[in-house]
Amino acid sequence: MPALDKVLSGLGLLVVAAPVLLLAVFFGAFLCNRRLQEHTIGRLIQGTITISLLASVTAGVLMLWHRVAQHPIELGDWVITPHYHLKFEFVLDLLSLSYAGLTLVLCATIGAFSTRYLHRECGYQRFFVLFGVFLLGMLTASLSDTVETLFAGWELVGLSSVLLIAFFHERPSPPRNGLRVWVVYRLCDVALLLAAILMHEINGAGDFDHLVGKNAWPEHDPLLIGPHFTLLGVLFIIAAAGKSALVPFSGWLPRAMEGPTPSSAVFYGALSVHLGVFLLLRVSPVLDSSIWLSVFLVLLGLTTSAYAYLVGRVQTDIKSALAFASLTQVGFIIAEIGLGFRYLALVHLLGHACLRTLQFLRAPSLLHDHHQLENAIGARPREEGVMWEGRLAPGLQRWLYRFALERGYLDSLLDKCVARPFVASFRALDALETRWARLLDGERPPAAKSKAEPRPPS
């Protein structure tokens, strides 16, 4: 039905176009040197999310009514050669609409909360500009049907997340932690970029249809088993592990708590931390091409859950404790994907994201209520231990406690093996560029200082 196809295409484009218009308004206000009022920003945010949410719900209802399993939305061919094909394309199906709807519902909740939580904050408008970039990136990644479209949304999410970690830039700690998170993100982005290149080498295009077939998610056509599909699956797992803070990339997760509570809730409690899970759900047929990939994914998920449980037990601040509790469930979802339970993983993702968002938003007032309870009873409430902990040997208990306090030494490992070499290499390249620029400008390089010889006594 051509009329239905046009309506679905229009609704799908409207879901992404609304955040684009929001960012255009912010950019126009910046060019005109006008500062928007807080209530104006709040209405713009809620109006944008409402339009996108209504469009996505309407598209889902129409697809259910007319029994349309999926609907592609082509945005044009950008590069066409005999051996290379680049295009941007969206798709409306169960997975994309579910994750886009979750994104819009939670962003609407966080937006309403943030207008009050950040009242009279000096970076109020800056926060919502970055919030709009994050919303656009999440919707682009959710509806993507090609690896190029996914990569564009993936980068927008990473950029906005890091800038919001460093939101309180007047303090030294947030920018430093934001830089560490950015380094880990760069590593997983390289893996995703290599996966995109490999997809083009295999099929000549980055369309996911060439991997999963024309059937709607989670159904897929049989794949040719070969080393290229195994390598492609490994690259996708590395990209998902970096974005979702799986082991061994879990060290950056507590650093991400430097941002405001609303950004911590929507990014690392609900949406951004599940983006790697979404990627694995989208490319799950690639994981089925090798039994070793499925086994590795199950082991990775269970290892991450065990690590996050141990580390979360000793956290002293509520945001870090909730972040590691969220990571525990993310590990279980990853294991479910490895076992082939696609629908279970999707339902688990949706329910867990909503629960963590509620807990993060409740955290500031919960601390206030907890302090009032301590003042009323005159002591701290007694904490009950876990049964299995008392059965361990004292030496093992001390080792586990030290291991959890040091967060599995993953943070220091990432700092020494990834972050410091990364920063040092860029500093060396910057010094080399400066030296070449001075040489081309005709300036002599500064002479090395020689130690002055001591003068003999007269």
Q: Give the model's pLDDT for residue 390.
A: 67
Q: Give the model's pLDDT for residue 216.
A: 82
| Crossing angle for the helix pair 342-377 and 318-338, to the nearest 10 degrees | 160
User: Where is pLDDT greater, at 291 or 417?
Assistant: 291
Whether the link from the prior residue into 456 is cis, omega within 30° of 0, is no
Q: What is the DSSP letter of 90?
A: E
The share of the chain scoring above pLDDT 70, in percent, equals 91
Cβ atoms of 285 and 223 closer than 8 Å: yes
Q: Where are the domains of the chain?
A: 2-367
Q: Is 335 exposed, middle or buried (0-12, 13-18, 19+ CB in 10 A)?
A: buried
156: pLDDT strictly greater than 70: yes
Give the DSSP letter string of 177-208. HHHHHHHHHHHHHHHHHHHHHHHHHHHSB-BT
CA gap 2, 6 in Å, rounded:
6
Dihedral sign for Cα atoms in the order 97, 103, 109, 111: negative
Give the residue-averaged pLDDT of 312-327.
88
C-alpha distances in Å from residue 98, one per residue of 92, 120, 142: 10, 35, 9
User: Where is pLDDT greater, at 334 or 317?
Assistant: 334
Give the residue-averaged pLDDT of 37-54.
94
| Crossing angle for the helix pair 318-338 and 291-312, to the nearest 10 degrees | 160
Q: Give the model's pLDDT for residue 445.
A: 59
Using one digit for the tens of pLDDT, what is the confidence trace for 345-392? 999 999 999 999 988 888 777 767 777 777 777 766 666 666 666 677
Which residues sit opposite 237 in a β-bridge? Answer: none
Cβ atoms of 88 and 78 closer than 8 Å: yes
* Amino acid in the structure at residue 442: G
Cβ atoms of 129 and 164 closer than 8 Å: no
User: Which of 86-100, 194-208, 321-335 bottoms out in mean pLDDT, i.e. has the lowest?
Assistant: 194-208
| Cα–Cα–Cα angle for 291, 295, 301, rounded to 5 degrees | 145
226: pLDDT strictly greater than 70: no
Q: Strands, DSSP E only, in 43-138?
A: 71-81, 84-92
Q: Give the model's pLDDT for residue 410.
A: 82
Q: How confident is the model at residue 155 (pLDDT cuts 50, 70, 90)?
A: very high
Give the CA radius of gyration of the chain. 25
320: pLDDT strictly greater than 80: yes
Q: Strands, DSSP E only, in 114-234?
A: none
Q: What is the mean pLDDT of the chain?
A: 86
* Nearest Cα to Cα of residue 243 among 334, 111, 115, 174: 334
Give the residue-averaged pLDDT of 158-182.
90
Give the residue-averaged pLDDT of 232-250.
93
Q: Give the model's pLDDT for residue 446.
A: 60
Give the residue-averaged pLDDT of 107-114.
93
317: pLDDT strictly greater than 90: no
CA dihedral (34, 38, 40, 44) in degrees, to 10, reads 110
Buried b (16+ CB within 10 A) or exposed e, 78-107: eeeeeeebebbbbbbbbbbbbbbbbbbbbb
Cβ-proximal residues to 303 (8 Å cutoff; 6+ apart), any chain: 247, 331
With left for phi above 0 and alpha for psi between -120 and 50, is residue 213 left, alpha or beta? left
Cβ-proximal residues to 278 (8 Å cutoff; 6+ apart), any chain: 95, 99, 141, 142, 349
Provide the pairing of β-strand 71-81 with 84-92: antiparallel
Using one digit for the tens of pLDDT, what is the confidence trace for 185-222? 988 899 999 999 898 888 777 888 877 777 788 887 66
User: Which of 127-141, 302-316, 369-383 bottoms out in mean pLDDT, i.e. has the lowest?
Assistant: 369-383
CA gap 311, 57 in Å, rounded:
39
